[in-house]
Amino acid sequence: MSASETATETVSESEKKIHGVTAEFTSVDTLLAACRRVRDAGYTKTDAFAPFAVHGIDKALGIKPTVLPWIALIGGVTGVTVALCMQIWMNAIDYPYIISGKPFISLPAFIPVAFELTILLASFGAFFGMWALNGLPRFSNPMFTNPRFDRVTDDTFFLFVDSKDERFDQAGVERLFADCGGEHIDTVVEDDSPTKVPSFLIVAWLVSVALSIIPLLIVAKMRVTNSSSPRFHIFFDMDFSPARDAQQTTSIFADNRAARPDIPGTVARGQVQDLSFTTGIEKLSSNAPKPSEHLVAFMQESDDSKTTGGAAQKSVMDTTVWLDKNPRKVDASLLERGQQQFGIYCSVCHGMNGGGNGLVNQRAQKLSQSTWIQPSSLHQETLYSDKYPDGKLFSTITNGIRKMPGYAGQIKAKDRWAIVAYVRALQQSQNASIDLVPQAKRASLEKEKAGVEKRLKEEAEEAQKKAGESKKDSPKPA
């Protein structure tokens, strides 16, 4: 400044606002020493500038620990929460979609995104938090008015005391700096360079805004107009997947089938199941053939039954040792599932109560179809579990009987067992005594029973009364 101190400037100098006082230091050690002196003198609105990070300067200047870590932590916690909520909402609530056979809410699959978003928002918190704490972005700083300040990026250290400091006293600060060995002690004055944005920047900005609209306009035009040229495929194999669909042909295999049949003698992964579970037939003994042999034998048997007709099937039925007990654990949820599946697949013929008078039967009766065979009532004694074991009932659902088709293709084995359990419950319901009802629930049942009896009685009386009235009334018009 001493160089620029001319007669003309001394007038304007006194009018300029003074921001503070700065001093130069030539080494880290003198800077740190000066920092401690300034701190001990009680100044708080201070700042130090160095070409590189100086460890220990926070303490030397008496700067309080920053709250930045907390901002970063809040950012990180927000990130992990947003990421998990977003993925759960997207994949499990708004648009439930099975990906790779994983559950809708599949935490391991969500963790990479949660991790990345945690890092991103924590970094944003640290970066923009640092901006906010430092009052950035700031395009001009009064420090820049001092041409010597450029050397702070090179080899010089600066210390600055702000005039807003409560204890600020220009002469005192200057004296303190001089005591500490500071050189070129200067006042920092208002930056009087023009604040107007240069016009070429405005022009450049307007031009770039105008140019950036062009792609949007092209997109908008294409959305409302037709074109005769074919669509442009950026990722051809994504628009036209080379994967074949079911029933399509391919030239890769000699038989031209795209859907590959199972290799003979193999069972696909996950398809091996307990045979008694899928057939309803009990294993004969512990030294029975291996499951695979058993399966092959069973398949051959069912193939035979197809070719030779019902006779073979009957012989299988008769000689088979059926499972006596439902292999699934019978509880309320299984019965509910069974009720639901029964309602979907069985009730149309067998009726909701299993009595054999479903909607299809009613319609057939109405049309007087001569070929129609009445569906069995499930409440015949011959179908009770002592005469018709669970395994046999299961097998009937699986393979069909008489006019009834097999449901193996439509209902999963475990659901067929649920239906078996439900049918048993239906049968039980027709022969149940009050002793089977838990003590606690009997009262409500009795109450319900009394209510129904009362209602029936009232209805009967009303009907009687009506009948009596119509009898009384009938002579009148006659």
Partner 1 sequence: MSEHAPVVVKPADHEAFKLPASLSALGLPLCIGGAIALFVGLGLGYSSVSAKFGMSAYLTAFMYCFTIVMGSLFFVLIQHLSRAGWSVVVRRVAELMMMMIVPLAVLFLPILATLFTGEGVLYRWDSSTFWADAHIADEVVANKTGYLSQGFFAIRAVFYFAVWCFLAYYFFKKSTDQDETGEKAATDQMQWWSGPAVMAFSGTLSFAAFDWVMSLSPMWFSTMFGVYIFAGSILSAHCAIAAGTYLLQSKGALKDEVTVEHYHDLGKLIFGFVFFWTYISFSQFMLIWYGNIPEETEWFFVRQQETWVTVAFVLIGLHWLLPFLGTMSIHVRRKPFLVFCWACYILVMHYFDVYWMIMPEAYSGIHGDAYATAGGAIGVVSSLLCVVGMAALLVGVILKLATQTKVAAIRDPRFRESMAFENI
Q: Point out which residues bind partner 1 (CB under 8 A).
A: 32, 36, 55-56, 58-60, 65, 69, 73, 100-102, 108-109, 111-112, 115, 269
Tokens 């500071």 correspond to 182
How far is 186 from 160, CA to CA, in rounded Å?
A: 10
Half-sphere CA count of 421, side-chain side, radius 13 A:
23
- Judged by beta carbon, residue 33 or residue 335, the one nearer partner 1 is 33
What's the closest the beta carbon of residue 32 comes to partner 1, in angstroms?
8
How far is 427 from 383, CA to CA, in rounded Å?
A: 9
Identify whether the C-beta of residue 421 lies closer than 8 Å to the C-beta of residue 338: yes
Which 3 state secondary structure label does DSSP give 419?
Answer: helix
What's the closest the beta carbon of residue 37 comes to partner 1, in angstroms?
12
Number of Cβ within 10 Å of residue 91's Cβ equals 20
DSSP class per residue in 116-175: HHHHHHHHHHHHHHHHHHHT---S--GGGGSGGGGGGGTT-EEEEEETTSTT--HHHHHH
In which region does residue 182 sit, left (phi positive, over 0), alpha (psi from -120 to 50) or beta (all else)? beta
What's the closest the beta carbon of residue 36 comes to partner 1, in angstroms?
7
What's the closest the beta carbon of residue 73 comes to partner 1, in angstroms?
8
- Judged by beta carbon, residue 65 or residue 409, the one nearer partner 1 is 65
What's the closest the beta carbon of residue 112 comes to partner 1, in angstroms?
7
How far is 387 from 380, CA to CA, in rounded Å?
A: 10
How far is 393 from 385, CA to CA, in rounded Å?
A: 9
What's the closest the beta carbon of residue 90 comes to partner 1, in angstroms?
18
- Judged by beta carbon, residue 39 or residue 184, the one nearer partner 1 is 39
CB environment 267-306: b (16+ within 10 A), e (fewer) = eeeeeeeebbbbbbbbeeeeeeeeeeebbeeeeeebeebe
- Judged by beta carbon, residue 116 or residue 448, the one nearer partner 1 is 116
- Judged by beta carbon, residue 106 or residue 347, the one nearer partner 1 is 106
- Judged by beta carbon, residue 102 or residue 314, the one nearer partner 1 is 102
What's the closest the beta carbon of residue 68 comes to partner 1, in angstroms?
11
Amino acid letter at 102?
A: K
- Judged by beta carbon, residue 56 or residue 310, the one nearer partner 1 is 56
Helix and strand element counts for the chain (H, E)? 17, 6
What's the closest the beta carbon of residue 111 comes to partner 1, in angstroms?
7
Expressed in angstroms, the distance from the first to the final Cα of the chain is: 130
DSSP class per residue in 371-400: T--PPPPTTSGGGSTTTS-HHHHHHHHHHE
What's the closest the beta carbon of residue 121 comes to partner 1, in angstroms?
16
- Judged by beta carbon, residue 58 or residue 301, the one nearer partner 1 is 58
What length is written for the chain? 478
- Judged by beta carbon, residue 118 or residue 395, the one nearer partner 1 is 118
How far is 48 from 94, CA to CA, in rounded Å?
A: 54
